Chains A and B, each alone.
Chain A
């Protein structure tokens, strides 16, 4: 975890869980595994607060704990996962994705679970149904069964998963099973659980309730009934969490589809979409290729609305297979079936496009041209760069040096003789993809951190004026509702002078802008990160 990432994690924790959790979290991030005692001692916070904040972190799935790492009987040690903290940047995108796939119900389910870290199914269903009912017009209400179906669909497509069950302390105290006490209990990955995507049977029925303050005893009694129902719904201890990996895979698939659409055409992108969708649940998350599919299978699962005839599909498939740059779809003739796999490393291509675009924005298109040239030719001398890029020598030199000083381009020395004399040395410019991607990713983290800090600063600076304007609008509302003479309102309005209101407006505009930049950068961030990780995986495979 780099310094920039740590800073950003701290800011995010502070924004979502308050200062105390931020302090504990950053301390854990900086120091790795720590036990409670050390944590309390080093953060100099009250014991209760530290315990609470560790609880919050564990509940949100950001903190894991393991016992007995330093021999049996050692205290429980806590470890924070920085990556999970950084996922908080992307929460709106997850929620939005759920909305686009499964409608408002899906959106609320994912939102609730993200807010609480992990929830039982019955709890989620009742909360979501209540919220939906609250938003519906009077007289209508949401049925639990509808929410249950949305929930089960999210689970079927692996967007939700069970959180890892707890084996360590609980089983040993109950006795019986502890014939050989577990020496080291590491946190368990949720995927190792065979029931990871299995829905429990819950007996929950009814409808969402409206929360109203003016209702009498009847409402309260039903609420009580619901509470007792919840406690007997049959899925206690089975908690669900959001499967971030699955969401990232979905984002990657979307990127591939849009890349195909812009490179070839809409129809072929639909075909690729179908192929990806068919294998999305069956392919493991970190596989290089999707599962093999036969052309027949693809044809059968194409939605009928596309109206693609079988021969045309074959033509499209051969087109996709033949295209060398765009898509690595490999075909093999296996006995009779024609198997297709989509190379998901395509993602790296998308990532490449991304950072070329970034370069374009920052250094101009000609620098980007030099960069692309270096990417294609691997190693080039300065003279060659000038020639190939068709840029005047002086400008090319400037750009190259600038890229070099920003660490986007590397310089490699290859001496002809062992004395390393400069006159007898080749100076080759290269682009090293993975470090460059990492560098850009760090830049992104830094930018997001700066944005958050700037936003905090702006809110602090303009706190007084914005509060004042809020009070004034409140008074205005109360005046209009009570029907008091508008004279008093105008008197109040005199307080807020013209420049003040302008200031408030500008400030709020700033804040909104900062937020949206945040979202944009996150988009970029995600692509770079997945690019980096897929590349790293590829390296490991080699």
Chain B
């Protein structure tokens, strides 16, 4: 046992049950095969009514899950060109994905998406549906107001005409205000001033640091 760790083991092999004359198994260099040979034959599969019914259930369930709204399809990658037919296809998919969770049971932050897609994705069709309703109400109101005006006479009409320009003027003022506001918040000038000063300082500092 002189050559410690040189090919020989540090202990007598007999103690772990390997006899004197026996060879140790050769050391393994290759990785184990992906499909190792089967020593024992596998047991046959379960058969019978129960197993078959369960199998049918599994297949049916998987099939059903694909048709439910919970099966979320990834957004299709954008094609090279936007096509006219695209928007109709989108509407079809959004119909499939119709599912309204009970928002009392979900965190609110998840809800935002509910309003968004309806604005973004289905712009054309819902508007058409909503359009006539709104129009009817407006038309009725207009008609009523017109009727009243006709009854009251022409003097009111003149007043109304006077009012309109006033309103326009007010609108103009508002727009002007916004512009002023933008000017106030624009800090481009001051930014440039600061930048120059700061740059000079840092250069000086650099020089000091080097020497």
Contacts and interface: CB of A to CB of B under 8 A. Distances in A.
Contacts of B74: 18-20, 49
A96 B62 contact: no
B81 interface: no
Contacts of A362: 39-40
Contacts of A76: 107, 109
Interface residues of A, number: 62
B16 interface: yes
B71 A16 contact: yes
A16 B62 contact: yes
A54 B62 contact: no
Contact of B58 (A20, A51, A423, A515): A515
A65 interface: yes
A517 interface: yes
Nearest to B67: A115
Interface string B47-64: 000110111011101101
B206 interface: no
B194 to A, nearest CB: 32
A17 B15 contact: no
Given A92-B54, A520-B46, A421 B11 contact: yes
Interface in A43-86: 46-49, 51-56, 58-60, 65, 67, 75-76
Contacts of B11: 421-423
B137 interface: no
Q: Which of B39, B55, B70 has the most CB of A within 10 A?
A: B70
Contacts of B116: 48
B65 interface: yes
A115 B75 CA distance: 23
A225 to B, nearest CB: 20
A65 B54 CA distance: 33
Contact of B72 (A52, A239, A421, A422): A52
Contacts of A239: 102, 105
A96 B55 CA distance: 10
A308 interface: no
B134 interface: no
Interface string B67-92: 01011111100000000000000000
A18 B102 contact: no
A111 B62 CA distance: 12
Nearest to B14: A423
Interface residues of B, number: 45
A382 B16 CA distance: 8
B8 interface: no
A95 interface: yes
Contacts of B113: 47-48, 51-52
A176 to B, nearest CB: 16
A227 interface: no
A111 B12 CA distance: 64
Contacts of B68: 115-116
Given A115-B64, A427-B16, A519-B51, A55 B106 contact: yes
Contacts of A178: none
Interface string A6-24: 0000000001111111000
Interface string B98-111: 00011011111110
Given A48-B117, A169-B107, A512-B55, A56 B61 contact: no
A169 B43 contact: no
Contacts of A48: 113, 116-117
Given A17-B65, A59-B70, A363-B39, A166 B12 contact: no
A284 interface: no
Contacts of B209: none
Interface in A423-440: 423, 425, 427
14 contacts: A48-B116, A48-B117, A49-B72, A52-B97, A92-B54, A114-B61, A363-B40, A382-B16, A382-B17, A421-B11, A422-B11, A422-B12, A515-B55, A516-B51
Interface of B: 10-12, 15-17, 39-40, 42-43, 45-46, 50-51, 53-55, 57-59, 61-62, 64-65, 68, 70-75, 97, 101-102, 104-110, 112-113, 116-117
Given A58-B105, A92-B55, 6 more contacts: A59-B70, A67-B107, A114-B61, A382-B17, A422-B12, A516-B55
